[in-house]
Amino acid sequence: ARRADRLEALAAETGAIAVPTDITEDDAVERLLGIVADAGGADTLVNIAGGARGADPLAQAKTADWDWMYQANVVGTMKMIRAFLPLLRAQREGGTVLNLTSTAGMVSYEGGAGYNAAKAAQRAMTRALRLEEAEHGVRVIEVLPGMVQTEEFSLNRLGNADAASKVYDGVEKPLTSEDVADIITYAVTVPHHVNLDEIVVRPLAQAAAHKVIRKQ
């Protein structure tokens, strides 16, 4: 992650090694790779960086927002995978790559073109990687969440707290980050010969991308 304060708190709680990293920066990725290699390598890479910016229709699309989304969701994920594949291929029991994408990469919606495009590209990359890496003993998993209520996603996308809160108005029990973390944990810890190619997860209230049950 990018924020040292949160990483330091997590490291104190878990014993993890905290390395603040911007995955869009080549030097930062190489530094992270070196630290991991020196610590003994890795058998699993979980790519959860990304996000959305803006909800403009294409007619008012902001180039800066699209550039940020493509770098954060697609190019950054590519850089991490490219850097860590040699370590993952070297694992005797086999390596794992898990990419957190989104149902936005499956179904487009008005005002979401930039995020739809970025997540669809990340999804396509994930599927290609699975084909390329099976012969190297690296399994590739994709988790595609629907509506997840977190403290930042909608706020970062829409720019103000009122607009962000309205996204979840009336939605009974949207998914939480803990729900998604539990699914990721399960997917990467089942026996290595089990490959959960694609896991689509939505809250019960979101029957489909176009149907969300909202109670008043």
Average pLDDT over residues 40-46: 96
Q: Can you give the CATH number for the domain in which 65 is found? A: 3.40.50.720
Q: Are residues 63 and 35 in the same domain?
A: no
Sheet holding 138-145, edge to edge: 44-47, 95-100, 138-145, 198-201
Q: Are residues 78 and 146 in the same domain?
A: yes
Q: Among 70, 115, 168, 186, which one carries the catalytic annotation?
A: 115
Inform me whether the pLDDT recorded for 99 exceeds 70: yes
- What is the extent of the structural domain holding 1? 1-41
Cβ neighbours of residue 174 under 8 Å, at least 6 residues apart? 147, 148, 149, 168, 203, 205, 206
Query: Known catalytic residue: 115?
Result: yes
Number of domains in the chain: 2
- What pLDDT was estimated at residue 153? 66
Q: Are residues 36 and 50 in the same domain?
A: no
Q: Are residues 119 and 146 in the same domain?
A: yes
- Reported as a pLDDT band with limits 50, 70 and 90, residue 68 is very high
Q: Are residues 23 and 98 in the same domain?
A: no
Q: Are residues 185 and 117 in the same domain?
A: yes
Inform me whether the pLDDT recorded for 156 exceeds 90: no
Q: What is the mean pLDDT of the chain?
A: 93
- Reported as a pLDDT band with limits 50, 70 and 90, residue 157 is confident
CA dist 191 to 64, 90, 161, 167, 194, Å? 42, 18, 42, 38, 6
Inform me whether the pLDDT recorded for 3 exceeds 90: no
Q: Are residues 64 and 163 in the same domain?
A: yes
Q: Are residues 22 and 120 in the same domain?
A: no
Q: Are residues 112 and 208 in the same domain?
A: yes
Q: Are residues 22 and 61 in the same domain?
A: no
Q: Are residues 130 and 179 in the same domain?
A: yes
Average pLDDT over residues 57-62: 96
Q: Are residues 64 and 101 in the same domain?
A: yes
